[in-house]
Amino acid sequence: MEQTVKAADKQPPMYAAVWRWHFYAGIIFAPFLIILALSSASANRKASSAPLGG
Judged by phi (left if over 0) then psi (alpha if -120 to 50, else beta), residue 14 lies in: alpha
As a whole number of angstroms, the distance between CA 33 and CA 15 comes to 26
pLDDT at position 1 is: 55
Mean pLDDT of 34-54: 82
As a whole number of angstroms, the distance between CA 37 and CA 32 comes to 9
Of the pLDDT bands very low, low, confident and very high (cuts 50, 70, 90), residue 40 is very high
Question: Is this model's pTM higher than 0.85 or not?
Answer: no
| Cβ-based neighbours of 21, under 8 Å, separated by 6 or more | none
Tens digits of residue pLDDT in 1-35: 566 666 656 778 899 999 999 999 999 999 999 99
